Amino acid sequence: MTDLKAIVWLGSSKKDLGEFPEEVEDDVGYNLFEAQRGKMPQDAKVLRGFGGASVLEIISNFDTDTFRAVYTVEFEDAIYVLHCFQKKSKRGNETPQQDKDMIERRLKVANEEHSKWLKQQPEKKKKS
């Protein structure tokens, strides 16, 4: 088995996931595990508007509600979970602006945190 990437939960993302229905929490957890293994999870897709394919969202539907977990695979050794939320907008698949803003802020934090982490690593690990 390959090494699993670390998962870093930003802001309230872990707490928010814990407030989802258990079935959704299990679904998101399994999909994140697949991402840790370097796989593209079945329920994940690229979140448009964030500059490429490094920001993804896991979409889980449960009992007529839609839940999302947004994460980045921008770094080769860690997955940063940026935001977990229930989609309440009824306008198609579009992500509400307040959630886009939250994701953008936390993506900046992920970049800062990862840079700090890399500086603390032995020289052989400093690639990303």
Instruction: Kindly give the confidence (pLDDT) of every residue in the chain, 128 residues in length, as a single tens digit, with 9 standing for 90 and above.
Output: 568 999 999 999 999 999 999 999 999 999 999 999 999 999 999 998 887 789 999 999 999 999 999 999 999 889 999 999 998 766 667 788 899 999 999 999 999 998 888 888 776 554 55
Contact present, 51 and 44 (Cβ < 8 Å): no
Domain ranges across the chain? 6-125
Half-sphere exposure of 108 (CA within 13 A, CB side): 5
pLDDT at position 37: 94
Length of the chain: 128
- Spatial distance between the Cα atoms of 21 and 16, rounded to a whole number of angstroms: 11
**CATH for the 6-125 domain, from 3.30.2310.20, 3.30.930.10, 3.40.190.10, 3.50.50.60:** 3.30.2310.20
Q: Which of 60, 84, 80 is nearest to 71 (CA)?
A: 80
pLDDT at position 91: 62
